[in-house]
Amino acid sequence: MNRKTISILALGLLASGCGGERSNEGLVARVDDYTFTVDDAVDLLVDEERLAADAGVVEALADLWVNYTLLAEATATDSTYGMLDFEPMVLRQTQQVMVFQLRDSVIQVDTFVTEDELRQRYEAEEPALELRARHIMFQLPIGATQPQRDSVVAALSGVRSRILAGESFELLAQQLSQDPGTAFNGGDLGPFGRGDMVAPFEEAVLALRPGDISDVVETPMGLHVIRLDERRVRGFEESAPLYRRQVQSRMVQEAESVFVAGLYDRAAPSLSDDAVEIVREVAENPGGSFSGRAARRAVIEWESGSVTVGDLRTLVQLESPTLPMQLAQSTDEQLEEFLRSLARRELLIRAAESEGLRPERDSIDAMIEEAGDQLRTAARVLGFFDLDQAPGEALEVAIARAVEEALVDNLSGATQVVPLGLVGFQLRDGRSTGTFDTGLGQVVLDVAQIRAARQLSPVEDALATPTVPDSAGR
């Protein structure tokens, strides 16, 4: 957004809330009297060429604007966040403590392995490897659609072709890779072993010989082109200490799997007929409200318990902000397995409760305090503490400016996006918030048209790759 217009726009939004029915014309989103206009969104996105002119991107930006506006106002009003209930936010953490205590008290595993047994296992399995590789990573846009994904794949495939044609992998990584942790060092990942990288990345590396360049590989972090630099086999004597720990960890995991499978088989959970449809509905609208009866409806149940619609909604709100999109794109079979995994988790928690394994109140309070500290840190990074409020300026104007600047920094990569999860849903409670399809569509059109109409400046034209004239000199 043009810095000269921010105060005028912010003042305009305050005036628009003074009496009369509010109009949503020209708006992308609203939080009470705060407004996010089509022009605001266009100004933020038009120069961020790596973000496609796509409804999913605009919607994600609008949702972020709503959350940031609510957080900025909450921070300015009460930086202790007394309006929030942090206990549900640490629920997953307290449940993990209970399950770990259950594992330590109930699942007893003999992990003693003799030297001969260890050597036999080592020789029967593929020897440990030490790998060294470099990569060039491109990030996918927030809420990437298939055409956007295809566009980024094509761009990275073009980089791979340049490498195969003889250009320096290291130099291209420094210039183009969007992994700030490795780009400065030519994409060097350093030495790593099995299990150190996410599965798709590891599988791609293991398929390479030193010097080979991978095809484009997708992981949860983004898209990668990988070069394997070194592949070294470690001997048994060198690997034995680490390998012993790996074998013992595997033995514990196998015992845990048997224990969990026993809980599940005895409970024999069954899915409701419309369980998959309910998951999709919750994923599409995680902030939606349900009546008490609807929230208590089971999506998977057993004789002594269930996972309800309310449980599912809370999970979606607490988990990664990408979970709703992942669920929406999953097959019916994947969603059914997702629900079974929730049942397994709930059965473990019930088993821990039956053993009297609950965290002490002091421990829960410490988790709550830490959650509050983390939220304050995030708000400080976004610039919502110590607002730059001019003398006589309305607080709402300073909040609007701070939110706009936070979004600019997020989109440029200067700061990371802060997903608010359940905080955002709690802050929305009782507030008039919304995004508007007409405004979303107008932003997509405006950004696409402005980008298409642009012409290279003389300097940009001089820097562009020269073309070879044809036989006619054209």
Q: What is the 3-state secondary structure (H, E, C) of 126-140?
A: CCCEEEEEEEEEECC
What is the CB neighbour count within 10 angstroms for residue 19? 7
Q: 59 Cβ partners below 8 Å, 6+ apart? A: 143, 435, 440
Rounded CA-CA distance 67/41 in Å is 15
The per-residue pLDDT for 126 is: 62
Q: Which long-range contacts (CB under 8 A, 24 or more apart) does 342-345 make?
A: 342/300, 342/307, 342/311, 342/312, 342/315, 343/264, 343/267, 343/269, 343/300, 343/302, 343/307, 344/260, 344/263, 344/264, 345/95
At residue 147, φ and ψ (nearest 5 deg) are -60, -40
The per-residue pLDDT for 369 is: 93
Q: 170 Cβ partners below 8 Å, 6+ apart? A: 134, 186, 187
Q: 135 Cβ partners below 8 Å, 6+ apart? A: 173, 177, 179, 182, 187, 189, 201, 224, 225, 226, 227
The per-residue pLDDT for 315 is: 85
Q: Tokens in use for 187?
A: 């994409």
The per-residue pLDDT for 455 is: 58
At residue 66, φ and ψ (nearest 5 deg) are -60, -50
Q: 323 Cβ partners below 8 Å, 6+ apart? A: 283, 316
3-class DSSP state for residue 189? strand
Domains of the chain: 6-79+385-458 (no CATH), 88-109+253-354 (no CATH), 129-233 (3.10.50.40)
Q: Where are the alpha helices (DSSP H) in 84-218?
A: 91-106, 115-124, 146-164, 169-176, 180-183, 199-206
Q: Tokens in use for 456?
A: 């290279």
**Contact status, residue 343 vs residue 267, Cβ threshold 8 Å:** yes
Residues in the chain predicted with pLDDT less than 70, given as ranges, are 1-22, 126-128, 142-143, 289, 291, 320-321, 455-474
**Contact status, residue 217 vs residue 223, Cβ threshold 8 Å:** yes
Cα Rg, the chain, nearest whole Å: 27
The amino acid sitting at 341 is: S
Q: Model's pTM, two decimal places?
A: 0.60
Return the H-helix or E-strand segment holding 327: helix 323-329
Dihedral of CA atoms 242, 247, 249, 250 in degrees, nearest 10, equals: 140
The per-residue pLDDT for 462 is: 53
